[in-house]
Amino acid sequence: MFFVTYLRRELRRRMRQAIFVALGLAVGIGLVVTVSAASAGVKKAEADVLSSLYGAGTDVTVTGPAPQFKPPSTGGGQPPKGATTIQGGPGGAEICQNSKCENAAGQTIDHLAPQYSPIKSAEVAAVARLHDVSAAAGGLLLTDTSITFPKNFGSAGGSAPPSPSTFTVDGVGIGPSALGPLSSGTITSGRSFTAADSNADVAVVDSGYATSNSLKTGSAITVDKVKFTVIGIVRQSQASSPNDVYIPLARAQALASTSDQNLTGDVNTIYVTAASSAAIPAVSKEISRLLPHATVTTASSLASEVTGSVANAAKLANDLGKWLAVLVLIAAFAVASLLTMAAVARRVGEFGTLKALGWQTRRIVAQVLGESVVMGVAGAVVGIGLGFAGAAIITKVAPKLFATVPTSTGTFFQQQSVSSNGVTHTSGPGTASHTVAVSLHPSITVGVIALAVVLALLGGLLAGSLGSWRIARLRPADALARVA
């Protein structure tokens, strides 16, 4: 009881010093809490982007290699079989495919191209049988690109070359499993697919695409010159860059098949669910060994491809922010230690008197450590409050962050040359990027608060230990000699 009474009296008598020590620790602790909260907020924003890109129930995504294509203008020679070119001819612009050409005026090209090379259905089954894989489902990602040429296109004084219209098509498996691209969506109008739709010309359309193209349940949409009836509208997170149109997998395989490539039974994407989050790295390695030419993507591997202000903010918080917090914390500890040692120097006479009265050194040391710990606790409380205030300010003033993720766009039309006979275009696969806007919400967890308390106590104990070291070297005779 005397320990507490003496401690309270000394802290009250040296209130100014106690306040300075506690505030010094509080500033360091507050900065650590703020930086940790900002870093957690950036990581959460990045995780939200990756989660929205993956959708519910998917841990690993496997895609076939990107189709190899080199446009003629880059010295790649003739386009591959099945590629469509628009070039000048004797009677004007011509559409050519596999060396067969016809006049382009008034014609419409509607080309459905796979975004990735095919994967056999047997390989999907093999992935599903891997250890730690709980489920696997295949899908066929396609890009429908159409372009309609005016009737006077290619003639002297004719209309300018038109711009192509492109939308993404996803062939999805139909079954009771929720695994796949539609798993995280909500049907807002109409219905989703049933077993009876396996070979039907029906489609589910993303709500964003439906709004921009005035589509609703019962509307018709053309995919590779085949009319599909819209049976449902699905609302999905636009941050995930959802596909525009979903059709039954069997119909997608049939439409994408050509005289040079039969995709019946094939997919180009496999959605995989691991038995547990800890098993994801092992599952990824097993799939890579099974399908060495495929691209295996997890949330962690995709994170390395995310660029933009989210990635910059993460680097800033992890590098500059943490080092700044460490330096300020070291400075706070140093100030607390110096102030404590200065206070001990001013109390030499007091401690000498206590030793002369019979106090043992360890009792005096415990008293000084107790005072330092109390100042550390006070610094922790104030520092945590400053951390919450800093997090609130960041939430209020921080601009939106942007994450850019590379995506495949399937087919593109690239202009090659323009002449009196028309314009040359070539179709082939390409890539683009998808940018997502996310808000920064710093997060202060229980772990961060616990870290703040531990650091504050550590700072107090460090300051008290240095002061105690000086006390331990103090001899009563020397101390009493300094008593006035």
Contacts of 98 (CB under 8 A, 6+ apart): 81, 82
Residues 356 and 235 in one domain: no
| DSSP assignments along 205-244, one per residue | EEHHHHHHTT--TT-EEEETTEEEEEEEEEE--GGG---S
Which of 432, 454, 472 is where one domain is finished? Answer: 432
Is residue 344 one of the residues assigned to a domain? yes
Q: How far apart are CA 349 and CA 372, in angstroms?
A: 20
Residue 235 forms part of a structural domain: yes
Residues 319 and 260 in one domain: no
Residues 97 and 142 in one domain: yes
The answer to whether residue 319 is domain-embedded is yes
Q: Can you name the residues that pair with 206 across neighbouring β-strands?
A: 234
Q: For each successive 10 residues of the chain (484 residues), what is the average pLDDT?
A: 68 76 82 80 68 62 72 49 61 67 72 85 90 89 82 61 80 73 84 90 93 93 92 79 88 82 86 86 91 83 59 58 69 74 68 70 76 82 88 79 56 42 46 60 80 80 71 59 52
| 34 and 157 both lie in a single domain | no
Tell me, yes or no, whether 369 and 260 share the same domain.
no
- Structural domain contains residue 53: no
Look at residue 252 and tell me if it is in a domain: yes
Residue 158 sits in the same domain as residue 242:
yes
Same structural domain for residues 144 and 288? yes
Task: Tell me how many domains the chain contains.
Answer: 2
SS3 of residue 449 by DSSP: helix
Examine residue 304 and state whether it is found in any structural domain, yes or no: no
**Residues 110 and 256 reside in one and the same domain:** yes
Strands ordered across the beta sheet of 422-438? 100-103, 92-97, 84-89, 422-438, 401-419
Residue 342 shares a structural domain with residue 222: no
Are residue 168 and residue 72 in the same domain, yes or no? yes
Q: The domain containing residue 92 runs over which residues?
A: 65-293+427-432
Say what the pLDDT of residue 278 is. Answer: 85
306 belongs to a structural domain: no
Are residues 318 and 249 both part of a single domain? no
**Model pLDDT for residues 407-456, shown as the tens digit of each residue:** 544 444 444 444 444 444 444 444 555 566 666 677 787 888 888 888 77
Residues 103 and 88: their CA atoms lie apart, in Å, by 9
pLDDT attached to residue 103: 72
Q: Give the pLDDT confidence of 44-71 residue by residue, as tens digits.
A: 766 666 665 555 557 788 888 866 554 4
Please give the model's pTM, rounded to 2 decimal places: 0.60
Residue 422 lies in a domain: no
Identify the pLDDT of residue 277: 79
Same domain, 259 and 367: no
C-alpha 137/C-alpha 456 separation (Å) is: 52
